[in-house]
Amino acid sequence: MGGRLDTQLRGTSGPTYSRIGNDLVAANAFYRLGESYRAQSKNQEAEKAFREAHEIHSRIGSDLGAANALLGLGQIYRAQSKNQEAEKVLREAHSHRQ
């Protein structure tokens, strides 16, 4: 990913940002960034953003956020006809939501 917003968000997932309790904000921002990239068919960038959102949501125990990030990732894989990868992440997303 490249861009100023992405660079700023990457800086927010470190210890200083965690200390002030804004990991959820960072995770949601990465998710939105992934959605934006997906809408522009920037699939590599979208994949990275969704993975980052998933990692943060998982770390902070946000099952719904982690599931949504995986759904975004599944949509990217489906658009690329990577059906096995899509099925894998969509099944994982489903397990987060139960």
CATH of domain 4-96: 1.25.40.10
User: The pTM is what?
Assistant: 0.77
What is the residue type of 38?
A: R
Positive or negative torsion for Cα 87, 32, 79, 77: negative
For residue 1, give the 3-state DSSP assignment.
coil
Residues in the chain: 98
Per-residue pLDDT in tens (0 to 9) along the chain, 98 residues: 455 555 555 555 555 444 436 889 999 999 999 999 999 999 999 999 999 999 999 998 889 999 999 999 999 999 999 999 999 999 988 887 66
Q: For residue 14, which phi and psi values (nearest 5 degrees)?
A: -85, -175
Per-domain residue ranges for the chain? 4-96
Q: Token pair for residue 54?
A: 């998933």
| Residue corresponding to tokens 């309790």 | 21
